[in-house]
Amino acid sequence: MFSIGPLGFTAPWLLLGLVALPILWILLRAVPPAPIKRRFPGVALLLGLTDDEVHADKTPWWLMLLRMLALAAVIIGFAGPILNPKDETMGNGPLLIVADGTWADARDWAMRQDRISGLLEEASRAGRVVSVAVLTDLPAGEMQFLSADVWQTRLAGLTPNAWQPTREDVAEWADQFGADGFDTYWLSDGLAREGREILIEAFESKGVLTVMQTPRAVIGLLPALIKDGALQIAAVRSDPVGDAVLTIAAIGPDPAGIERELARVDLAFSAGEAQAEVALSLPPEMRNRVSRFAVQGINSAGAVTLTDDGLRRREVALIAPHDESEGLQLLSPLHYLNQALEPSADLIKAGLEDVLPANPDVIVLADVAKLTVGQTAGLIEWVEAGGLLVRFAGSRMAASDLSRTVEDALMPVRLRAGGRTVGGAMSWGQPKALQPFPDRSPFFGLDIPADVTVTSQVVAQPDPKLADRVIAALADGTPLVTRKEMGQGQVVLFHVTANAQWSSLPLSGLFVQMLERLAITSHQGTLNDEDLVGTTWAPLRLLDGFGQLADAGAMAGVAGEELTAGVVSADMPPGVYENESRRVAMNAVGVETTLMAAKWPANINVEGLSISRETLLKGAFLTAALVLLILDILASLWLSGRLTGPRSTGVAALLALALMMPEGAQAQSDDFAIDATAEVVLAHVITGDARVDEVAQAGLMGLSDVLYQRTTIEPANPIAINLERDELAFFPFLYWPIVASQPLPSPEAYAKLNRYLRGGGMIMFDTRDGDVAGFGTGTTAEGRKLQQLALGLDIPPLEPIPEDHVLTRSFYLLQDFPGRHVGRPVWVEAAPADAERAEGMPFRNLNDGVTPVIIGGNDWAAAWAVESGGTYMFRVGRGYTGERQREIAFRFGVNLLMHVLTGNYKSDQVHVPALLDRLGQ
Amino acid sequence: MTTPAALRRNSAELAGALPPLLADAERLAAMILLGEHGRRHSGMGDEFWQYRVAVDGDEARQIDWRRSARSDVHFIKQKEWQAAQSVMLWVDGAASMQFSSAKDLVTKGERARVLAMAVAVLLVRGGERVGLTSSATPPRTGQGQLLRMVQELIDADTSADFGKPDTHGMRPNTRAVFVSDFMGDFEGVKAALTQAADRGVKGALLQVLDPQEEAFPFDGRTIFESMAGSLRHETLKAGDLRDRYLQRLAERKAALADLAHVTGWQYSCHHTNDAPRVALTWLYHALERRH
């Protein structure tokens, strides 16, 4: 193939056509542009006039250049240009494509898929069978060599995983290679890793191995630690070359529970350094909410590190009974708790009333026997909302009647009076040691030091539920620690004191471990075996290879011992694991991870990933030629005066068309305003139900006709209103038939409606269900819809139309307001309560205010509706009575519109006697 | 569009707003034709002139019995002798008048015919007699004559490129109106006007032009052709000709005005994008003017 630089041609001989261009140039320059013929009567006056210049007949050079370029583009286009033509061909025989598929791949996984797709295409052209494997998700059994097209369809299903392939898995897989040879393409993630040499050896023994890897450095975010009260965020990279700055975001729920970015910090690698650290100082309140840190712009599990209890500092409130005596510090009930909790929790020491509003995680009551009713209620509420209440016994509790006969709400068990003392000077027995913890106890697996003994304790009453509540017991079986679930929280009672008076437990390390198991404190730094032995951790949320968190679903739990190993795998993907209320995060990049760039033996061919693929440029060149030719058309028109001279209306119109569009829209809106305001217009709301809208339109049409015939109101044709789009202010009156299926207006439309109602507009709601339901019962779908619709509207208190309402006499004297249905009450704005009957008049003195809404269900529009021919659309009632009913319906319509347009003018009659009086004087 | 009925309706509409045109009565004495111009003599006419005592020889049916009943003698009611003037119209019907530069502009011929018929309508309403110089029939008055004129205008021969005023139907001591673009041979116009002046005919020249003929908005290589195709002129740069063309046009207008002045005629130029009423008003005044 003939090629120039990266450009190759499939038909290079066509390029000889370019030689013809200069000849064409000379030819075209010689021929002037074609003249325009114009009919012009004034030609008689032109006869004999000669041109001053003669050179203008030549085509200008730039137009020639344009045409030459267009022609050259056509020639080159048909010569079949190809960018990055590939001359090398693949071998034949089976082909294996291997991808590491680790989190390090995730960042440019799309590129890898693209590359695999390209390899598959080539293999497909060469007719090779292919197998594709991902090392983190190795297929069981022998490799499947299938046609490349089959793998193309499976390609989208290949995803990177958040863990790394293990040496054992890889070795096992390599052992299963069949006898047949194959070539291998290996898409490496660029990280050095154990087991790689096994695979290299295995692949090379089968055929040619080609490795592809991106030179881009892999970045891993190390788990965040707390150092000197600040968060320590560190990242490692595989290629310590040059400076680099990462932006790291701390993500967690905000106070409203919505996950968002809480803080961000820049982390700078200096040249030559593979690791960088930055300190992020956050208020404890915010730090406790951080659920993960993520490097911005990198979608990879390695660029996300989850946080767990290690970063949390629980708020623990310590409450001790009021002590008048000035005791020694070591005898203080809270001394050992202080010592145990200080390093890992925020302690609050205040009165119970002050503590509860702060909503601490844990409240410790050390030998507190008496709580007021208010304190008890507050504590119960707090525990049920998820609080952990830890109580310690003591002399006061033993002496009190707390939980004696009836189990106290805030005690896990009932207590016997007085407690007991063993192994003292006045007793026979020895101090008691602890029993090993039962396996359902949160303390299961903790080592019990031999020197922990108990000399005194409060004793639980035997109870059917007692056995379930004991989580630690003495050697003789008496409960030492009991626990009760309460709502979402729990109450834990240590049957000994929090100081060393009754037992040596607070002096031992076991005490701290027990507090930690109860999630009163949280572990610091890495987990150790002792913390985790015997526990099972259920995955809560897991990270996929791209660093996205997802619910773990029904995945099996993981033993605590595995967690301590800290190596994530397919069985234990990175994520958050939970046991009791403790949480541990497993991250794709562990604390001690270092990332090393992979080193390949010298004899292996290593390619970059971004190998340019062949691009056919024929289309691009031909498109360019087309564009140039269009430019040429415009330029020729312009040159010959057709673009600007007379008879250029077509071109001008095309250009003007684009400019005129928005003005058209404006004109439309103006037309609407003019239509709506030039004359009085009745309007109805478009419900979306075509039939109902049609009836409403016809009904208003019929009413308009009647108004025109009988009154001085001469309305134009009614208009249908779209609440979302149309301005309402033009209409004095809106008829709104209710359809159960109509959508609720948007908030903007509601704002518009309320503005309309406040501004003196009237809406008549018609549920059209007067035949089946009384209004207000909400039994019909329309009635319920009306209630929904009206929720957002600013509607005053309503009452059924009273006898003296102005609607009853604004034009006709009426007492019924039938539509197609009869007799249901029609509701209007209620009269003020203090309205008084006017003297000498049959109605009350109700002057101001036109009712903003009329609500009824008589389906008035149907009674008013006329067809285009003038006949009525619907039958009303039967015979003469029906016609009478229709007449009354029309009269109601007339009264209604009179009321709308004249307000309470008719009510002014109440003033007639006063006016006459005044005139008489 | 140019059906007789439409043309007549258009001209009637245009004439509707103007008062009846009372043509100059200067020539009335010589014209022994009925019209609304009183001759201060008794004779045939519609207007009352005088009562005179009946004498022998008067026919009995001439006696005005109502007047006679109030006295002892018989009276005869005499009416004023009225005379009408003849106005001859020539409307250029040549191919050059078919030109219109834009879709929303009427052709020059259309405008010329409407103006001419408007004047005719006014004259007929004023009791004058109108006719076409190209017509074989003498000038008459009445709606029938209007229709006849319209028919003749529409049937006019349009084969020639430029028109020349037709004077063969022109009678002495009448008035005449020539409507044309006067783009053709100037000598023809000159001859016609001289001939008219010789016969004592005075009148008005109305030149009707298209706005494009005034603006010459052309550019680039162009071949200009006359409407019937008899004349053509090719230019490489139309834009360069503009100034010289406009100069020639101005010269032509000046020559027309001069000629009109010499022969006692009136001259005006009208553009098809202007309101026709202006031109009609001018024609009205031109015909009303006494000499």
pLDDT tens, A504-558?
888 888 888 888 888 766 555 555 666 677 778 888 888 888 888 888 877 888 8
Are residues B96 and B45 part of one domain? Answer: no
Q: What average pLDDT score do residues B92-117 get?
A: 84
- Percent of chain A exceeding pLDDT 70 equals 87
Residue B32 has pLDDT above 50, yes or no: no
- Dmax over CA atoms of chain A, in Å, equals 149
Residue A146 CB coordination number (10 Å): 13
Residue A612 pLDDT grade (very low, low, confident, very high; cuts 50, 70, 90): low
Q: What average pLDDT score do residues A805-825 get?
A: 84
Are residues B125 and B71 part of one domain? Answer: no
Are residues B180 and B116 part of one domain? Answer: yes
Are residues B253 and B211 part of one domain? Answer: yes
> CA-to-CA distance for B12 and A254, rounded, in angstroms?
85
Q: Do B117 and B150 meet the contact criterion of CB atoms below 8 Å apart?
A: yes
The beta-carbon neighbor of A36 closest among B184, B222, B249 is B222
Residue A367 has pLDDT above 60, yes or no: yes
Contact B183/A at CB under 8 A = yes
Are residues B119 and B67 part of one domain? Answer: no
Residue A703 pLDDT grade (very low, low, confident, very high; cuts 50, 70, 90): very high
- Cβ contact (<8 Å) for B218 and A646? yes
Residue A276 has pLDDT above 80, yes or no: yes
Q: How far lies A528's CA from each of A436, A580, A724, A814, B53, in Å? A: 20, 17, 64, 90, 154
Are residues B121 and B73 part of one domain? Answer: no
- Which of A78-87, A663-672, A744-753, A800-809 is predicted least confidently? A663-672
Predicted local confidence at residue B45, as pLDDT: 60
Are residues B272 and B156 part of one domain? Answer: yes
CATH number of A95-215+597-612: 3.40.50.410
pLDDT digits (tens, 9 = 90+) for B146-179: 777 877 877 777 778 888 888 777 777 788 889 8
Collapsing DSSP to helix, strand or coil, A36 comes out as strand
Residue of higher predicted confidence among A295 and A562: A295
Residue A699 pLDDT grade (very low, low, confident, very high; cuts 50, 70, 90): very high
pLDDT digits (tens, 9 = 90+) for A85-144: 665 556 678 888 888 888 888 888 888 888 888 888 888 877 888 888 888 888 777 777
A contacts of B235 (beta carbons < 8 Å):
46, 49, 51
pLDDT digits (tens, 9 = 90+) for A212-242: 888 778 888 888 887 776 788 888 888 888 8
Structural domains counted in chain B: 2
Q: What average pLDDT score do residues B43-67 get?
A: 80
Rounded to 10 deg, the angle between the B186-198 and B238-263 helix axes is: 10
CA–CA min distance B19, chain A (Å):
36
**Host H or E run for residue A122:** helix A109-126
Region of residue A596 (phi > 0: left; psi between -120 and 50: alpha; otherwise: beta)? beta
- Cβ contact (<8 Å) for A42 and B244? no
- Cβ contact (<8 Å) for B218 and A38? yes
Let me know if B139 is exposed, middle or buried by CB neighbors in 10 A (0-12, 13-18, 19+). buried
Collapsing DSSP to helix, strand or coil, A576 comes out as strand
The domain segmentation of chain A, as residue ranges, is 1-33+56-85+614-647, 95-215+597-612, 218-313+529-596, 316-517, 679-912
A679-912 belongs to which CATH class? alpha beta
Are residues B151 and B91 part of one domain? Answer: yes
The beta-carbon neighbor of A41 closest among B213, B223, B248 is B213
Are residues B98 and B79 part of one domain? Answer: no
B contacts of A37 (beta carbons < 8 Å):
222-223, 225
pLDDT digits (tens, 9 = 90+) for A277-311: 888 888 777 887 888 898 888 888 888 888 887 77
Cross-strand pairs, A543? A549
CA–CA min distance A665, chain B (Å):
26
> CA-to-CA distance for A82 and A617, rounded, in angstroms?
6
Q: What average pLDDT score do residues A407-432 get?
A: 80
Q: Residue ranges of the alpha helices (H) in A390-457? A: 395-399
Are residues B9 and B140 part of one domain? Answer: yes
B contacts of A57 (beta carbons < 8 Å):
221, 236
The predicted model scores a pTM of 0.44
CATH fold label, A316-517: Rossmann fold (3.40.50)
Q: What average pLDDT score do residues A568-588 get?
A: 82
Are residues B43 and B170 part of one domain? Answer: no
Strands (E), A400-547: 420-421, 456-457, 470-473, 479-486, 489-494, 536-543
Of A615, A505, A485, the C-alpha closest to A85 is A615
A contacts of B101 (beta carbons < 8 Å):
646
- Which of A80-94, A380-394, A614-628, B128-142 is predicted least confidently? A80-94
Whole-number average pLDDT of chain A: 81
Residue A643 pLDDT grade (very low, low, confident, very high; cuts 50, 70, 90): low
Residue A587 has pLDDT above 50, yes or no: yes
Predicted local confidence at residue B28, as pLDDT: 28
> CA-to-CA distance for A572 and A587, rounded, in angstroms?
10
Collapsing DSSP to helix, strand or coil, A481 comes out as strand
Residue B159 CB coordination number (10 Å): 9
pLDDT digits (tens, 9 = 90+) for A863-903: 999 888 778 888 888 888 888 899 999 999 999 998 888 87
Residue of higher predicted confidence among A814 and B288: A814
Predicted local confidence at residue A564, as pLDDT: 75
Residue A848: phi and psi, rounded to 5, are -95, 155
Are A95-215+597-612 and A679-912 in the same CATH fold? yes
Predicted local confidence at residue A696, as pLDDT: 92
Predicted local confidence at residue A745, as pLDDT: 84
Give the domain extent around B189. 4-28+84-288
Residue A553: partners with Cβ closer than 8 Å, 6 or more residues away: none
Predicted local confidence at residue A642, as pLDDT: 66
How does strand A183-187 pair with strand A209-212? parallel
Residue B34 has pLDDT above 70, yes or no: no
Contact B244/A at CB under 8 A = yes
Q: What average pLDDT score do residues A722-748 get?
A: 85
Are residues B201 and B68 part of one domain? Answer: no
Of A679, A687, A685, A728, the C-alpha closest to A704 is A679
> CA-to-CA distance for A504 and A509, rounded, in angstroms?
10
Predicted local confidence at residue A529, as pLDDT: 60
Collapsing DSSP to helix, strand or coil, B249 comes out as helix
Residue B24 has pLDDT above 50, yes or no: no
- Which of A66-70, A621-625, A651-655, A719-723 is predicted least confidently? A651-655
Amino acid at B250: A
> CA-to-CA distance for A448 and A437, rounded, in angstroms?
9
ipTM of the complex: 0.72
- Cβ contact (<8 Å) for B235 and A49? yes
Q: What average pLDDT score do residues A796-824 get?
A: 84
pLDDT digits (tens, 9 = 90+) for A668-693: 677 888 888 888 888 999 888 888 99
- Percent of chain A exceeding pLDDT 90 equals 5
Residue A57 has pLDDT above 60, yes or no: no
